[in-house]
Structure 1
Amino acid sequence: MVQILTRKFFEVLFFMLFITFVSFLFVRMAPGDPVLTILNVDELSVSQEQVETLREELGFNKPLLVQYGLWLLKFIQLDFGASYVTRQPVIDMILMGLPATIELAAGALIVMLIVSVPLGSLSALYRDSWIDQVSRVLSIIGAAIPSFWLGLILIDLFGVRFNWLPTMGREGFVSLILPSLTLGLAISSVYVRLLRSSLLDSLSQEFIRAARARGLSERRIFLVHAFRHSLPPVITVFGVSLGSLIGGVVVIEVLFAYPGIGKLVVDAIRQRDYPLIQGYILIMAIIVFVVNTCVDLSYRYLNPEMRLKERRIN
């Protein structure tokens, strides 16, 4: 465990240095001039002297590597800078919108578990039955439908026609239902097929036949042995697809006008608010890295073979 944590520590140092440089470089290479956007040159008459003064104030007159070095020095001090538009600290703006995004992501994961675990399990238990056929058809349809299109259908059905649920804003639990359903159903199809495949592989292993020979009940065999053995591939895919989940959250937040950091960064991109864009990229990168680290560490508890190998090495 100590070796794993030490290796992860050095990995995170390299990862943070790499992601900070790449994000800084790519954001600066994006088309558009933030100085002109801040000064609203399309609506106001601005002199060239005012443009140059603001460009010097923001440090855009310095070489790119110098700008990166100054920004990295502030980042090491946990200073993400201030928004060009609102002049508020970036970290405060992100922390203000982060709870809403976490709520939406958690709601989507709950929907995904409610849908994918029963469907995937039943498909594996009743292979080639009508349940399996229906489950596979639904998973294919779910994979083919874009999340934003599914969101528009749910808005039209439950928000416009029946007027059962709110379609915009964040006003309690009810406003979380439609966006969570949209994102959760969109990602469920992948995990239904993956869980089915992993369970079928687990049920064909020798230890399952040995458990049946010992007279264990089918329920215990499935829940304690087969289901647990099938989890590592599912968790691995979840760690890899976490970036897609975060991207889906951004789309859904914009679609439902949900006040999370996804909608915040879309507005920042439109306004060329570099510090806010970089802060978002770094926070999301850190979240993805932490989740993938937790996934790696969880293998030791979900897969007995890894624990046996570590004992043999030690």
Structure 2
Amino acid sequence: MGKFVVQRFLWMVAVLVVVSATTFTLMHAIPGGPFSQEKALPAQTLAQLNKKYNLDSPLFAQFVDYVGDILIPVVMTGKQQKSLDHDYLINLKLPFEDNATLRWMNFGPSFKSTSRTVNDIFRDNFPISFQLGIIALIISGVMGIPLGILSALKRNTIYDYVGMGVAIVGVAVPVIITAPLLQYFFGVQLKWLPLTGWGNPNQMVLPSLTLGFGEAAIIARLTRASLLQVMNNDFIRTARAKGLSERRVIIVHALKNSMIPVVTVFGPAIAYLVTGTFVVETIFGIPGMGRFFVTSITGRDYPVIMGTILIFAVLLVVVNALVDIAYVWLDPRIRYS
């Protein structure tokens, strides 16, 4: 297991290097720049801006400087701490030295939000996107797993047909259609829930349900197929032959083994539900990372683009690694060399 964890860590580092290098290269390859306007800036002003943000250096040098600002921690003392409080995502007081702070992960200034750094944007807006994604993930699991189990246990009955019919709709219909339908039905017609906003529980229901419905449908279909396959295995027939109750056979023997394929989808699901909030945030007017990410692309705000993609890339690779490790607990036969 130790060797496997080390291998996964090295794989994560390699993936992040490729993602960061590819994103950085593609950003600068797109025609235009962060200070390109309909009315061109004077050459002297443009040169000053490029120098201020290090855009006049060779591309490789810019990339090395950017990665260095993120990865290399610095220790600050005295007045330095007050002047640079907002520049670093992680700030830790050092216990062994008075009035000293360890600063780490400087994602740089935003080219468009001149009064805020990228870290300021992350602190204010990323928790909202993350909260929306986690609530949607819980909804998808609470809806999808029981629906899949019910459809499998009641195979070829009205419960199965209705459950899988709902799941097919969830898979086929994108959130850009689901969101307005839910807003119209629950917000306009029934007036049960607010159409937009975020903060109180009522405002969280529609966007979370919109985002979680599609993943719940995928989980339901996968749970049904996996449970039906497991129920036909020899060890299930052996358990029944021993006189175990059907409930015990299903709960103790069938469900645990049928959850192995379902766990595999939770890794990509978490990444999708957190990154997929961009569309939902726009529709429901939620002040998460979605608005800043979209405007950063259209406005060539390189630091915001890079920072957002790297944060979500880290989230994706970490979740996938944890899912792989969870296999061992679910199925002891799985061993990683």
Q: Using structure 1 for the length normalisation, give the TM-score.
A: 0.91
Does the 8 A contact of 2:112 with 2:301 survive in 1?
yes
- CA displacement, residues 117-142 of structure 1 (integer Å, 9 cap, x when unaligned): 22100111111111111122221122
* Matching residue within 71, 74, 89 for 2:66: 71
What is the distance in 2 between the residues matched to 1:20 and 1:106? 25
In the other structure, the counterpart of 1:55 is: 50
Does the 8 A contact of 1:108 with 1:180 survive in 2?
yes
Does the 8 A contact of 2:136 with 2:212 survive in 1?
yes
What is the distance in 1 between the residues matched to 2:48 and 2:118? 23
Give 1:126-205 correspondences, 5 Å limit. 126-205=154-233
What is the distance in 1 between the residues matched to 2:142 and 2:308? 30
Does the 8 A contact of 1:98 with 1:260 survive in 2?
yes
What SS is found at the alignment partner of 1:34?
Answer: coil
Of 212-221 and 272-281, more deviation after overlay is shown by 212-221
* Matching residue within 124, 131, 134 for 1:106: 134
What is the distance in 2 between the residues matched to 1:129 and 1:266? 45
* Matching residue within 76, 92, 102 for 2:120: 92
What SS is found at the alignment partner of 1:216?
Answer: coil
What is the distance in 2 between the residues matched to 1:114 and 1:17? 36
Give 1:1-314 correspondences, 5 Å limit. 1-36=1-36, 42=39, 46-77=41-72, 78-87=105-114, 88-306=116-334
What SS is found at the alignment partner of 1:85?
Answer: coil
Alpha-carbon shift at residue 263 of structure 1 (Å)? 2.4
Structure showing greater relative contact order (alpha-carbon pairs closer than 8 Å, 6 or more residues apart): 1
User: Residues 264 and 135 of structure 1: is their aligned pair in 2 closer, same or farther, counting only changes over 3 Å?
Assistant: same
What is the distance in 2 between the residues matched to 1:119 and 1:61? 57
What SS is found at the alignment partner of 2:197?
Answer: coil
User: Residues 240 and 110 of structure 1: is their aligned pair in 2 closer, same or farther, counting only changes over 3 Å?
Assistant: closer
- CA displacement, residues 106-127 of structure 1 (integer Å, 9 cap, x when unaligned): 2211221222122100111111
Does the 8 A contact of 2:171 with 2:214 survive in 1?
yes
* Aligned residues between the structures: 304
How well do the aligned residues superpose, as a CA RMSD in angstroms? Answer: 1.8
Alpha-carbon shift at residue 29 of structure 1 (Å)? 2.2
The structure carrying a bigger helix percent of its residues is: 1
Does the 8 A contact of 1:147 with 1:248 survive in 2?
no
Question: Quick one: which amino acid aligns to residue 164 of structure 2?
Answer: R
What is the distance in 1 between the residues matched to 2:276 and 2:259? 23
- CA displacement, residues 64-110 of structure 1 (integer Å, 9 cap, x when unaligned): 11211111211212221111122322123112212211221122112
Alpha-carbon shift at residue 241 of structure 1 (Å)? 4.1
Question: Quick one: which amino acid aligns to residue 132 of structure 1?
Answer: D
Structure 1: 5+ residue runs without aligned partners? none
Greater than 6 Å deviation, 4+ residue runs: none
Does the 8 A contact of 1:208 with 1:225 survive in 2?
yes
Alpha-carbon shift at residue 194 of structure 1 (Å)? 0.6
What is the distance in 1 between the residues matched to 2:167 and 2:279? 21
Of 18-27 and 277-286, more deviation after overlay is shown by 18-27
Question: Quick one: which amino acid aligns to residue 112 of structure 2?
Answer: V
What SS is found at the alignment partner of 2:333?
Answer: helix
What is the distance in 2 between the residues matched to 1:176 and 1:256? 10
Of 181-190 and 163-172, more deviation after overlay is shown by 163-172
What SS is found at the alignment partner of 2:139?
Answer: helix
- CA displacement, residues 27-61 of structure 1 (integer Å, 9 cap, x when unaligned): 22234321135xxx55xx84222122212222222
Q: Using structure 2 for the length normalisation, give the TM-score.
A: 0.85
Structure 2: 5+ residue runs without aligned partners? 73-104
Alpha-carbon shift at residue 299 of structure 1 (Å)? 0.4
What is the distance in 1 between the residues matched to 2:67 and 2:275? 25
Question: Quick one: which amino acid aligns to residue 282 of structure 2?
Answer: V
Alpha-carbon shift at residue 161 of structure 1 (Å)? 2.5
